Amino acid sequence: MLQRLLVLGSTGSVGDSILDVVARHPDRFLVHGLSAHRRVDKLYQQCLRFRPAIALVTEPQHAIELQAHLLAAGLATEVLCGEDALCEAARACDYDTLVAAIVGAAGLLPTLGAAQAGKKILLANKEALVMSGALFMDTVAQGNATVIPLDSEHNAIFQCLQGCAGDRDGVERLILTASGGPFRTRSLESLAGVTPDQACAHPNWSMGRKISVDCATLMNKGLEVIEAHWLFNLPAQRIQALIHPQSVVHSMVVMRDQSVLAQLGNPDMRMPVAHALAYPQRIESGVEPLDLTRLAGLTFEHPDVQRFPCLGLALQVLAEGGQASAALNAANEVAVEAFLGRRIRFTHIAQVVEQTLQRIDLPGHAGLEAILGLDHQARQLAREQVRVCGAQA
């Protein structure tokens, strides 16, 4: 039986990894749908190659143009447009597996739709889970959906947890590894002057620009600790982040008996992608074999929250119960966009997030409306803060 895939965010970096693995296994996977935001030409090329039933875009003008091009090329692909169309497609019964690879809060509603509809969800879009935490996991449980993490650390933990054969009391703690990003060894003073291109030049992984900046600020690791908390149902104190510059150990699980299970491999997203697509089977991924004899060494150190305050802010939000997670995420999205647009400095990102968290009014409940309201309020506060920082820069 072919597994029918709806790949949301197919034009991104994770989308590339997904389609690369899918193309290696035409006997297993069928691309039902693809989606893009700005890179519509790339979506057109993907449609020519994978001939999906549907293609989704966000702008009506893009939809008209893409539909015309596809018709001219003799394809029957139907082009759909807008957030409602994304949600409807995610809830529909004509596919099996949702790949949630849209970046940021824009991925939340379609991913929740797939959870309600009981789909298998391959989750890359960590922002969606960070924003909605308990609601997301409850929706997954109620909809009888399955989540398999694509984020390499969480995918590694998912794999290592098989080592306790369902005895979750046997798990003592999780260790999430982080490369430390391109500024791991830089002084705090020198960070004020770094450029977006420097921040996006990740030493080990090739990724979209937003997550690359998150890796440089270590906000990514903060979001990932929150992600791990929800995915694996463990309290913050039992989730540790360690800097591991080689990015070979993708994460670890420490068992009660002090056995430490780790998952290793070259840093290439096609590995977690192949695992998640084929789970519980194993398929060829295209990833270079790991040559252990060529590794100079594997090192681990504690992260420095003085130089990388975003990690501390995320950990604080989780320690306080996680209610402010949607605000943390929204403020970070606004700040990263402003940094990428050269409107604020790199070191302002943490300031924008911190000031937003200080000013936000937390709602008394955690339903979807409250989460979306928090997201909205935090974006407004963060934009004000961006203007303040921008005026100082």
Does the protein bind ligand NDP through residue 102 (CB under 6 A)?
A: yes
Phi-psi domain of 137 (left: phi exceeds 0; alpha: psi -120 through 50; beta: other): alpha
Stretch that binds ligand NDP, among 9-17, 191-199, 233-241, 339-347 (CB under 6 A): 9-17
Which option in ligand NDP, Mg ion, none does residue 129 bind, with CB closer than 5 to 8 A by kind? Answer: none
At its nearest, how many Å lie between ligand NDP and the CB of residue 123? 9
Contacting residue, 37, 51, 186, 383, with ligand NDP by CB under 6 A: 37
Strands 146-149, 120-123: pairing is parallel
Report, in Å, the least distance between residue 128 CB and ligand NDP.
8
Residue nearest to ligand NDP (CB): 12
| Strands (E) located in 140-238 | 146-149, 171-178
> What would the x/- binding string for ligand NDP be over residues 136 to 155, using CB under 6 A?
---------------x----
Local structure of 148: helix, strand or coil:
strand
Among residues 126, 202, 244, 348, the one that binds ligand NDP under rule CB under 6 A: 126
- 153 marked as binding residue: yes
Among residue numbers 239 through 298, which ones bind ligand NDP (CB under 6 A)?
269
Q: Pick from 5, 6, 9, 63: which binds ligand NDP (CB under 6 A)?
A: 9
* 186 near ligand NDP (CB under 6 A): no
Backbone angles phi, psi at 102, to 5 degrees: -75, 145
Give first-to-last CA distance, the chain, whole Å: 57
Task: Extract the tokens encoding 285.
Answer: 């991924």
Cα(213)–Cα(219) distance, integer angstroms: 8
Label residue 112 exposed, middle or buried (CB < 10 Å: 0-12, 13-18, 19+). Answer: buried
- The two three-digit tokens of residue 21, written as one number: 């693995």
Least separation in angstroms between CB 105 and ligand NDP: 8
Residue 210 marked in a binding site: no
Check whether 11 is labelled as a binding-site residue: yes
The answer to whether 256 is a known ligand-binding residue is no
- The region that residue 299 occupies, defined by phi over 0 for left and psi between -120 and 50 for alpha, beta otherwise, is beta
Give the whole-angstrom CA distance, residue 356 versus residue 373. 14
CA distances from 276 to 15, 90, 125, 174, 353 (A): 14, 18, 14, 20, 32
> Judged by CB under 5 A, does residue 214 bind Mg ion?
no
Judged by CB under 5 A, which of 151, 333, 337, 375 binds Mg ion? 151
Q: Using CB under 6 A as the criterion, which residues of the chain lie in contact with ligand NDP when the complex forms? A: 9-15, 36-39, 58, 101-103, 106, 124-127, 151, 205, 207-208, 210-211, 269
Annotated binding site: 11-14, 38, 125-127, 151-153, 179, 202, 208, 220-221, 224
